[in-house]
Structure 1
């Protein structure tokens, strides 16, 4: 375990925050297991290695290189286990990393859909341009809250709304819109007005404040409003906003290449990906014209019905099964290009490395493992 690391290195928690910012764990599928698997968040990180699979051999490579963090795509513990003894494959892997002082982090389905994620990396490696999600992710449901506040109290209320999670739009926070106006009311017997007298009409200079908020934060934001508002009975309303359908994230990618034959495009795919025993399998007329292409990093036959309805000439993915692929071809769908699962997802690793270098500079060493962890080792 290294003990002489420079003092200016980032902590593991800092690197984890970077990775989670690019690939938010909350966007992972409900069945997935992502995030920091092992490691002390307060330890410094001087070297980061990236790989597709957390195999024993990958763990040994990370340990021998002196990595402080191993970032992988596939989870080590996707299904529950009752122990991590060194007599099991998972236990051996974790044991090697732990003994070497190397933390482990997984970014799986949260990295599949993201900008700069696995499918986008695959599409870029194949030279596709004009990328859009094959199946756009649903945008986060949002509300718009409107309230009316005495001018003197408006800034305090705006701040309370922002602290509760309202007004966050992309890379901005505390966003709101205000319009001056007049508030009119007459307090009735039993009221305890902050402004005005019971039984007398009152006119108050007020500000109309409007903020957008994630629907999941609605209760917290309304409670913050009621706590910060000076009125006994403040006026407010919440409107649910519509999805504009402009999602940049989502499953798979669709893009374009210069017009070419399917045979030529298949050669292009083979040249762009790391070599494997699996190679590149193609279903379709070799002379078919290819211009528009859909891709999905990893196993993608769950998208075949979606792809059939798209205006694409070829679909590049992995792990296509015999019957679904055969039925797809019978229905006259796009050509199918089946590549090794590991090779397709490996294209994401250099992308993450570049992002880490851009964020951390030369203070942290990085390494992309080229160890092929595709399970198929040769063709007879």
Structure 2
């Protein structure tokens, strides 16, 4: 019989809690370690629709990348979103485990899954920790060079579609071979992408001023910006594989819920030529 504790042990072996940032809240947040597990659901976010899916499928364990209780709370009443989630999980007998920045830093981790989805062969972390084999982000290469325009299409085709979409900054004809990636919000590492000498940096949640300042630097890598949820979604299959290897008799499913924050989007017109008047 596989228990919640067994599943947690397998996940923490793959994503050691010691790799988590000191502000993070990882590990088992809800549930009894001694309870048996026959079904597991893996998702990016512990949002209501994901919890509904876990309950509907009879999962005794929900594994997510983002923690439910990342910031301190003073109570969990059912009238509050976090409290409602906790009560829903407990009533259904569904444990909740999260691997967040420890999964970002682990080898393999979130950025390895993103790189693999894009066809990038990983060489090393972008921001190494400890002995240099773990850390946030990854640097790698494509099998053959291609233009930024083609690479941006590659990214869009590889990741689940979102209202945010995929957008790029830089010369569309720039040749791309060396790539840096970081799943989740990554503009704090723009300086590392520049120092690494890569051709493009793929991440999420890029803000206007850091992006424009970066692109103004001579020789700076091009940028590809994707939705936060989409950049981390490939990790779900990786975490599911970790559990499948440790507990082959447990039924493991990746959530079908699309938990990107944005629900609507409209493509704008092509940017006008410099000096053009738009009426």
- Using structure 2 for the length normalisation, give the TM-score: 0.93
Equivalent residue runs for 1:17-166 within 5 Å: 17-139=9-131
- Which one has a bigger Cα radius of gyration? 1
* 2:177 corresponds to which of 291, 302, 325: 291
Aligned twin of 2:276: none
Distance 1:116 1:44 in 2: 27
Aligned twin of 2:133: 248
* 1:374 corresponds to which of 238, 257, 260: 260
* DSSP-derived class of the 1:70 partner: strand
Instruction: Give the drift of 1:130.
Output: 3.9
Aligned twin of 2:203: 317
Q: Deviation string for 1:69-123 (max 9, x for gaps)?
A: 0001111111111111111111111121111100000100000011121011101
Q: Deviation string for 1:102-153 (max 9, x for gaps)?
A: 00001000000111210111011100014311111123xxxxxxxxxxxxxx
Work out whether 1:276 is the aligned partner of 2:268. no
Structural RMSD (CA): 0.9
* 1:335 corresponds to which of 222, 229, 232: 222
Instruction: Give the drift of 1:289.
Output: 0.2
* DSSP-derived class of the 2:196 partner: coil
Aligned twin of 2:247: 360
Q: Deviation string for 1:14-33 (max 9, x for gaps)?
A: 11111111111111000000
- Give the unaligned 5+ runs of structure 2: 267-279
Instruction: Give the drift of 1:370.
Output: 2.1
- Using structure 1 for the length normalisation, give the TM-score: 0.68
Note if contact 2:25-2:70 (Cα within 8 Å) is conserved in structure 1.
yes
Which runs of 4 or more aligned residues in structure 1 lie more than 4 Å from their structure 2 counterparts after TM superposition? none
Equivalent residue runs for 1:209-228 within 5 Å: none
Distance 1:89 1:133 in 2: 36
